[in-house]
Homo-oligomer: A and B are copies of this chain.
Amino acid sequence: MIVLDDGPAPLYQRVKQLIVQNVASGAWGPDHKIPSENELVRDLGISRMTVHRALRELTSEGMLVRVHGVGTFVAGAKPQAPLMEIRSIADEIRERGHEHRAEVIWHQVEEAPADVASQFSVMPGTQLYHTVLTNLENEVPIQLEDRWVNPAAVPRYLEIDPARVTPHHYLMQQAPLSEGEHIIEAVLAEPWERKHLQIDKTEPCLLIRRRTWSNGQIISAARLLYPGARYRLGGRFMKRGS
């Protein structure tokens, strides 16, 4: 039985959510043919244009593949390796066989400063969740994580203990990732950042600004700061814009 969640969200977003849930749960595996537009129209009792918009957006987001005159299918394994990979630093460290520990510096509600507000497309002063912590590999600080989270998307975020459940894992579980953005640059760390990373004034750092979306809604914006001498970046990236 297919039924829409109720809620204040627009209809087409709830249709998208329904599809995403079926795919994320594994009920609809790769190459599964999903119900046709007319079937969804009949089952959900909504208009075809609304269904069509939901399916079209999910197609442009890479979750579905549509074939004119045939049907709509769950996107299978891509011909090349996954285009995006957002890894957890904790997983990375453990895969290297090292010990991982997180030291929480802040974990609270804060009013968004202007630069953060613009990234979230909200008014400055809007209340957001803010977590700052360092990730240590064998007791050596390897990353400073400065993360803002959208309370509307993840209302219970503040209840977690970031030292035990990494914010990354919690967010991935609460809001299946649909889109991400990485900006990579080399910078010098601020004094308070240097203190937590235990690095020298002249130490160049790799800065990764990461934003993630789920179902069109921004979930989180994070600044990830790596001491240059202790980290190298690898992986695949995709970029888009302007």
Contact = CB atoms under 8 A, between A and B. Distances in A.
Chain A contact residues: helix, strand, loop or mixed:
loop
Contact of A240 (B80, B179, B185): B179
B236 A238 contact: no
Interface of A: 49, 61-63, 75, 78-84, 115, 118-119, 177-186, 209, 234-242
A187 to B, nearest CB: 12
B183 A239 contact: no
A49 B82 CA distance: 34
A61 B242 CA distance: 7
16 contacts: A62-B241, A79-B115, A82-B241, A83-B239, A84-B240, A84-B241, A84-B242, A182-B238, A182-B239, A183-B237, A183-B238, A184-B236, A185-B236, A236-B239, A238-B240, A239-B239
Contact of A238 (B78, B115, B181): B181
